[in-house]
Structure 1
Amino acid sequence: FYKFWGQSLRFMAARDEKGGAKSFIEVRPVRVQPGEEATIELTAYANADGKPRDEEKLVVAVNGPGGSKSVSLQQDSRRPGLYRGSFLPAEAGKHAVTFTPPTGDAEQGAEALLNVMIAPEEFRQPQLNRATLEGLSQATGGSLIPLDQLGSLERRLTGTTLSTIRQDQATIWDNWLVLVILVLVYSIDVGIRRLMGLS
């Protein structure tokens, strides 16, 4: 995914011809978990004229919470100036991947950032846990249907109707304060009517 779309976007992106060629680093994916492999791609130029570097290997520095380490990148034989490598971050936090040119134009250095984050619990083991699903289906009276047997799901849905009779009892005057106020208002109303001869 990253390789295809990354290369496609780089090919279609507009380039600043006046500013000259500039080395750059791409790290994929941009977010990983500790212990998950991250791929580094360095497009390295010797100068602003766009001359690609021709060394077999180049080294980048990875600076993270646990310190700094060097990662060796191998030249891609199909594309001059392109170097690839990978590393396994051990700790969570922000990591900076930096390239300092060993020779040539010092302004052809490059840097990229990588976020190493601990994934939420539900994403740490996303693979199918068949034993747990089978136990859950047996405990609830259901069944586990494999993906290649989803066509049998329609036959299992019988469409039976289940009727449940429920009786709820509730007191009318469950709020004594309202009842007292109503009785008091009614008594005052009746008393005034009798005093005025209206009833």
Structure 2
Amino acid sequence: MIAGIVVVKNAELGARIKFFQNACGAVLAPLDSWLIIRGIETLFLRIKQHSKNAQAIAEYLENHPAVDKVFYPGLKSHPNHAVAKRQQKGFGGVVSFSLKQDELKLAEAFVSNTNIFKLAESLGGVKSLISHPANMTHKSIPAEKRRAAGVSDSLIRLSVGIEEVEDLIDDLEKTFEKLNKYSSVEVCDATGVEEKSYC
């Protein structure tokens, strides 16, 4: 992130924050300011494409037999769909989904086998990213608490970019095919204990 904004309702609090910003020198460099100005010029088009791509991907995932749940406010099945539809013009570029086989190893294999979606933690970029919260953003939370908060072992988060949506869906489909091919394969480790191999 290059920059951000703080919005407050109270004028007194706003004045205090402005004082600290001025006193501490938290001011953007000229190059960063120019990058933001340049980016704002195409922001509308990028956000529109993010939302369009994410909607198509969410609908694809919702109908995939290997997917348990899809979390995206643009879907009618989302509990807050009506609120999101009333409050905003689009539904954003972040889609999360969980697998019917709710296994850490399966989710790890999925996020490691995509080609266009790159494994990284970030949001809102032009390039599509994929992450596994149980092993990344929520790794430090004990598994029981994480699951109770709704972050299952197989939850996968997509930050959908502005690439051609057919290519993105094809990337996900090929990854599902890879996992389907290997999910039924049983292998023995060095101790002789059988375990599933997804690699």
Q: TM-score, normalization: structure 1?
A: 0.21
Compare the two structures and name the one with the higher helix fraction: 2
Query: Relative to total residues, which structure has the larger strand share, 1 or 2?
Result: 1
Bigger-Rg structure (1/2): 1
